[in-house]
Amino acid sequence: MSKRTLVFASVMMVVVLVLAACGQTAPAAPAATQPAPAAQIQRGGDLIMALVTDVGTLNPHLSSNAATMNIFYQGLEPLVWIDPQTKQAKGWLATSWDVSADGKEWTFQLRQGVKFHDGTPFNAAAAKWNFDHLLDPKLQAGAARNFVASVARVEAPAEYTLKLFLKSTDAGLLDSLHYGHIGMICPEAVKQFGDTEFANHFCGTGPYKLKELVAGNHVTFVRNEEYNWAPDWMGHQGPGYLNSITWRFITDDTTRTAVLETGEVNVAVNLPAPDVTRLMANKNLTIMSPMPSGVSQGLYMNVTKWPTDDLVIRQAMAWAADRETFSKVAYFGIWPPTSTTLSPNTLCYSKESEIYRYDPAKAKALLDGAGYKDTNGDGIREKDGKPIKVLFIKEASFLGAELIQSQFRAVGIDVEIQEVSAAGRQDAASKGLHNIMPGGTISGDPSFMNNYFMTGSPLNVAKVSDKELEKLLLDAKAALDVKERCKLFAAVQKRIMENVYHLPLVVSPSTIGTRKEVQGIRFDVTGWFMVLYDTYMQR
């Protein structure tokens, strides 16, 4: 073959590829399915769910991976459950509880007749062992230890009575106790196999139990036929409906979406926003995005570094941010816009803290008033010859930074975007190299805000050190009366917004796709984690 022919051949190949890509046709419309009445629920079926990350260890006391909660909730049961609508605690492995007047002594009555997967009984001694083990400083504990941070010691005065003594009053205790990572595990299994090996001998009280764990690939649970202690807020009694549940780890967004579309998996989490609109049109799929609770996805402002140390500049940015467009373009409207730090579905959310809306004229007036003027005509304002330029450090996963950049530039604030790895982000956050850094949290109780706005907390990316805010946060944590708490948290939210420590942009719900045959998925209060006890496959 001559060289000329070769070149021609390679160019042709490209043309063919282009034509093939353009020739995609819409899939044929699928047959419609009817939802079955509750009486027709049949046992059986194998559910396969695609998760984003490898779950790592299956020992909840060691795990720091939030996504693993989707597994823990099927095999483990915590003491309480938080109702997603009312935000009230309901019993799970505990049936009732009392709290002393000073809020430091909690007494739980535990459910009777509950058995671990290995046949040993669940009682106060086992529950006490769980807390003691998690609080043992020798254990390299994961995220779960944060949930029991306020617990000083634990006692088991009777067979089914558990007493928690707190270091200080913690109104968020019940919320902390509802997470999957603090579900009760078998003391015997840990004693016999050790903490690391427990992952392969996973043992709890839940309606599904471990069949196999293939590291880096999948986890399979099968039905626990003994299970007959479901709390009354669940949809049924007795064992779960499904024969088995398998979680597969599929990191790549496109692949995870594709396996859902082909039906290779029944459920896929974290669907990428660009594909959601297209998937909604697919009659074989149901797309769910339950509104989450927690801190809205937004920008933390470093208040210790110029120019974001100037309140006027932070306020100008809050007026210059067009949240509607940001939500529509960067997140295809799947993540709705918000201008409050607590997302609207959170306990003690206060609408009064909604101070800023999109008003570039107001931003410009504020900057003019403070003496920031564009003197050299480059579109960027300066003061004493120093241009306003903020450094925006973010990970690749945060989308729409260029939109923020153009919106801020429109009022005369320059933005330099720097994309870093997760480790680079942490490093920048601790050293305070950034001016703005995106962030938000999924959580139940608003007390978790203490981690983000208290002096010295490693998660305090805004580098806030505000005595008045700290007092409000601590008082709110100690206020057992919900009305009193919410009043304090309203003041917290107002103070954060007045000082623009955090510039909220969008609410960040999970986007979960299921095949039509999957019914009865229950979400926890954060809207991100699933309880599959009532889940069944429709025939």
Partner 1 sequence: MVLAFILAAVGLAPVLAPYDPIALNTNEVLALPGARHLMGTDDLGRDVFSRILYGGLLSLSVGVMAVSIAGVSGTLLGLIAGYYNGWIEQVIMRITDVMLAFPGILLAMLVVATLGPSLTNIMIALAFSRAPAYARLVRGSVLAMKQNLFVEAAVVRGCTHNRILFRHILPNVMVPILVVASLDVGVAIIVGASLSFLGLGAQPPTPEWGRMLSDARRFLRVAPWLSMFPGLAIMLTVLAANLVGDGLRTALDPRLRV
Q: Are 130 and 190 in contact (CB under 8 A)?
A: no
Q: Which of 59, 63, 257, 341 binds partner 1 (CB under 8 A)?
A: 257
64 is a contact residue toward partner 1 (CB under 8 A): no
Q: How far apart (Å, rounded) are the C-alpha atoms in residues 197 and 213?
A: 11
Q: Which of 280, 420, 459, 480 binds partner 1 (CB under 8 A)?
A: 420
- Of 55-63, 353-361, 393-401, 481-489, the window that binds partner 1 (rule: CB under 8 A) is 393-401
136 is a contact residue toward partner 1 (CB under 8 A): no
Between residue 69 and residue 128, which ones bind partner 1 under the rule CB under 8 A? none
Closer residue to partner 1 in complex, CB, 387/424: 424
- Of 158-166, 268-276, 362-370, 484-492, the window that binds partner 1 (rule: CB under 8 A) is 268-276
Paired residues of 287 in beta bridges: 513
Q: Which of 358, 341, 336, 276 has the alpha carbon at shortest distance from 507? A: 336
Question: Considering the complex, what minimum distance in angstroms separates the CB of residue 2 from partner 1?
Answer: 13
Q: Cα 172–450–335 angle (5° rounding)?
A: 85
Q: Which two tokens stand for residue 218?
A: 């999948």
Closer residue to partner 1 in complex, CB, 5/24: 24
Closer residue to partner 1 in complex, CB, 21/29: 21
Cα dihedral value 489, 490, 494, 500, nearest 10: 40
36 is a contact residue toward partner 1 (CB under 8 A): no
* C-alpha 345, offset from chain centre: 13
401 is a contact residue toward partner 1 (CB under 8 A): yes
Q: Which two tokens stand for residue 484?
A: 């009193």
Q: Which of 501, 175, 463 has the alpha carbon at shortest distance from 353? A: 501
Question: Considering the complex, what minimum distance in angstroms separates the CB of residue 323 from partner 1?
Answer: 13
How are the residues of the chain apportioned to helix, strand and coil, as percentages rounded to the nearest 5?
35, 20, 45
Q: CA gyration radius for the chain?
A: 26
Q: How many CA atoms lie within 13 A of 402 on its CB side?
A: 3
Q: Are 196 and 139 in contact (CB under 8 A)?
A: no
Handedness of CA 190, 191, 195, 196 (dihedral sign): negative
Paired residues of 161 in beta bridges: 109, 158
329 is a contact residue toward partner 1 (CB under 8 A): yes
Q: Which of 33, 86, 228, 254 binds partner 1 (CB under 8 A)?
A: 254
- To the nearest 10 degrees (0 to 180), the angle between helices 360-369 and 311-320 is 160
- Of 168-176, 304-312, 412-420, 508-516, the window that binds partner 1 (rule: CB under 8 A) is 412-420
Number of residues binding to partner 1, judged by CB under 8 A: 31
Closer residue to partner 1 in complex, CB, 210/271: 271
| Cα Dmax for the chain | 92
Q: Are 370 and 363 in contact (CB under 8 A)?
A: no
445 is a contact residue toward partner 1 (CB under 8 A): no
Q: Which of 118, 195, 253, 475 binds partner 1 (CB under 8 A)?
A: 253
Q: How far apart (Å, rounded) are the C-alpha atoms in residues 155 and 128?
A: 6
x-marked contacts with partner 1 along 286-325 as a string, rule CB under 8 A? ---------------------------------------x
38 is a contact residue toward partner 1 (CB under 8 A): no
Cβ neighbours around 178 below 10 Å, total: 25
519 is a contact residue toward partner 1 (CB under 8 A): no
Secondary structure class of 507 (helix, strand, coil)? coil
- Of 150-158, 229-237, 401-409, 522-530, the window that binds partner 1 (rule: CB under 8 A) is 401-409
Residue with tokens 């805004």: 462
Question: Considering the complex, what minimum distance in angstroms separates the CB of residue 1 from partner 1?
Answer: 15
Q: Are 442 and 292 in contact (CB under 8 A)?
A: yes
Q: Which residue stretches of 331-400 are H helix?
A: 360-369
Q: Which of 291, 417, 454, 486 binds partner 1 (CB under 8 A)?
A: 417
Q: Which of 197, 378, 402, 427 binds partner 1 (CB under 8 A)?
A: 402
Closer residue to partner 1 in complex, CB, 58/401: 401
- Of 30-38, 60-68, 179-187, 414-422, the window that binds partner 1 (rule: CB under 8 A) is 414-422
Q: How far apart (Å, rounded) are the C-alpha atoms in residues 225 and 230?
A: 13
x-marked contacts with partner 1 along 5-34 as a string, rule CB under 8 A? --x--x---x---x--x--x----------
Question: Considering the complex, what minimum distance in angstroms separates the CB of residue 521 from partner 1?
Answer: 25
Residue with tokens 């009043």: 487
Is the peptide bond between 307 and the residue preceding it cis, with omega within 30 degrees of 0? Answer: yes
x-marked contacts with partner 1 along 348-387 as a string, rule CB under 8 A? ----------------------------------------
Q: Cα 153–175–479 angle (5° rounding)?
A: 80
Closer residue to partner 1 in complex, CB, 18/152: 18
Closer residue to partner 1 in complex, CB, 272/360: 272
Question: Considering the complex, what minimum distance in angstroms separates the CB of residue 237 from partner 1?
Answer: 43
Closer residue to partner 1 in complex, CB, 109/405: 405
What residues line the site for partner 1 (CB under 8 A)? 3, 7, 10, 14, 18, 21, 24, 253-254, 257, 272, 274-275, 278, 325, 328-330, 396, 400-403, 405-406, 416-421
